């Protein structure tokens, strides 16, 4: 598992990450979400011991990254797939990594197969497409068969097939009991892949929740159209609802559609439309990060 404890990183007077605390548990995909510049990469780099925190700490399996006995077998990370360059073949690249990390050579062919690159194993990386580089980056992550997997914006640059493939792979890795943390600035994509969401904005934690809970919370609006909008607004407010006028309609929170219908009937207000609304997760994301 990963524990982020009061983690802070300041660059001069700017706090890129500010007193951030959250856990990433095994057996789940945890989505790390925030707009560009929110502090996701900085946090991941601190978890991986690549940046020194100004204060606080991040632990992998209970210890600092530098204190892991077998780093490649415990944690695999991909921060920037584009940085894999060069004239070497995919096989040679992975073989060098395996050798350096004390990983058996046979894992190279296994991970190439796992990411769908077995056919390109002997091709030079310099000729790889962006999607192939992403797959190669993920192969490197999987080399040591690690229990903790950290990926920074892994979906960037993948085509729809690649995205579906990655989603399935991450879900199966979590189902095997691994701890999976991935960052993105795309709420909808994340909601399809992740079980939990950790949302940050300007370096601060603003949500640590499940996708299901977030969806439920943003499903409470009811759209009402009535020729007696003013009177109905008073009735609904008196019953404890929040009413927002919107282009000749009312958006009501705090009461169910049936309760609104009953109150309208009891108070002689005609209703021409009564529709529970389902806010998209993208709307929810914008609202909570505002
Ligand atoms: N080396 C640095 N020096 C100064 N400021 C930095 C440095 N690295 C990051 N920052 C600032 O810290 C903030 C967080 O950046 P970070 O890259 O962690 O965000 P992010 O959520 O990963 O965004 P993105 O998706 O754009 O990479 C930004 O305001 C960024 O400008």
DSSP of 7-73:
EEEEETTEEEEEEEEEEE-TTEEEEEE--TTSSHHHHHHHHTTSS--SEEEEEETTB-GGG-SSHHH
Q: 89 C-alpha vs ligand 1 centroid, how far in Å?
A: 32
Residue 9 alpha carbon, nearest atom of ligand 1: 12
What pLDDT sits at residue 215? 77
Indicate the top mutation candidate among 13, 36, 42, 189 to test ligand 1's pocket, ranked by most ligand atoms within 8 A of CB: 42
Pocket of ligand 1 (CB under 6 A): 11, 14, 16, 34, 36-42, 185
CA distances from 161 to 158, 168, 172 (A): 8, 11, 17
Query: Ligand 1, atom 11: nearest CA belongs to which residue?
Result: 16
Q: 202 C-alpha vs ligand 1 centroid, how far in Å?
A: 10
Task: Please tell me the pTM assigned to this model.
Answer: 0.83
Residue 17 alpha carbon, nearest atom of ligand 1: 14
What pLDDT sits at residue 175? 97
CA-nearest of 96, 99, 131 to 115 is: 131
Q: How far apart are CA 99 and CA 84, in angstroms?
A: 17
All structural domains of the chain, each given as residue ranges with its CATH number in brackets, are 2-216 (3.40.50.300), 219-289 (3.30.70.980)
Q: 100 C-alpha vs ligand 1 centroid, how far in Å?
A: 30
What pLDDT sits at residue 231? 95
What pLDDT sits at residue 285? 80
Q: How far apart are CA 187 and CA 216, in angstroms?
A: 15
What pLDDT sits at residue 94? 95
Question: Which regions in the chain score pLDDT beneath 70?
Answer: 81-82, 85, 219, 279
Q: How far apart are CA 213 and CA 119, in angstroms?
A: 42
Q: 201 C-alpha vs ligand 1 centroid, how far in Å?
A: 12
pLDDT tens digit sequence for 275-287: 988 767 777 788 7
What pLDDT sits at residue 81? 65
Q: 245 C-alpha vs ligand 1 centroid, how far in Å?
A: 39
For 60, counting Cβ atoms within 10 Å of its Cβ (0-12 exposed, 13-18 middle, 19+ buried), the class is buried
What pLDDT sits at residue 159? 86
Residue 41 alpha carbon, nearest atom of ligand 1: 22
């Amino acid at each position: 598992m990963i524990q982020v404890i009061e983690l802070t990183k300041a660059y001069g007077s700017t706090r890129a990450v500010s007193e951030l605390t959250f856990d990433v548990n095994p057996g789940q995909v945890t989505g790390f979400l925030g707009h560009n510049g929110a502090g996701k990469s900085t946090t991941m780099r601190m978890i991986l011991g690549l940046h020194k925190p100004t204060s606080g700490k991040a632990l992998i399996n209970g210890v600092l990254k530098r204190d892991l006995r077998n780093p490649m077998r415990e944690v695999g990370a991909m921060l920037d797939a584009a940085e894999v360059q060069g004239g070497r073949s995919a096989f040679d690249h992975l073989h060098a990594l395996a050798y350096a990390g004390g990983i058996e050579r046979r894992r190279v062919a296994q991970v190439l197969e796992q990411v769908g690159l077995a056919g390109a194993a002997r091709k030079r990386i310099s000729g790889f497409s962006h999607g192939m580089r992403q797959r190669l980056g993920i192969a490197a992550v999987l080399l040591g068969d690690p229990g903790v997997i950290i990926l920074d914006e892994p979906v960037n640059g993948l085509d729809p097939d690649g995205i579906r493939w990655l989603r399935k792979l991450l879900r199966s890795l979590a189902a095997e009991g691994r701890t999976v943390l991935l960052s993105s600035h795309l709420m909808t994509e994340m909601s399809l892949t992740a079980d939990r969401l950790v949302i940050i904005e300007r370096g601060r934690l603003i949500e640590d929740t499940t996708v299901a809970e977030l969806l439920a919370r943003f499903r409470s609006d009811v759209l009402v159209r009535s020729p007696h909008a003013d009177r109905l607004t008073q009735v609904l407010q008196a019953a404890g609802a929040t009413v927002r006028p919107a282009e000749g309609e009312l958006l009501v929170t705090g009461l169910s559609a049936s309760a609104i219908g009953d109150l309208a009937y009891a108070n002689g207000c005609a209703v021409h439309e009564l529709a529970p609304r389902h806010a998209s997760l993208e709307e929810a994301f914008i609202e909570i990060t505002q």
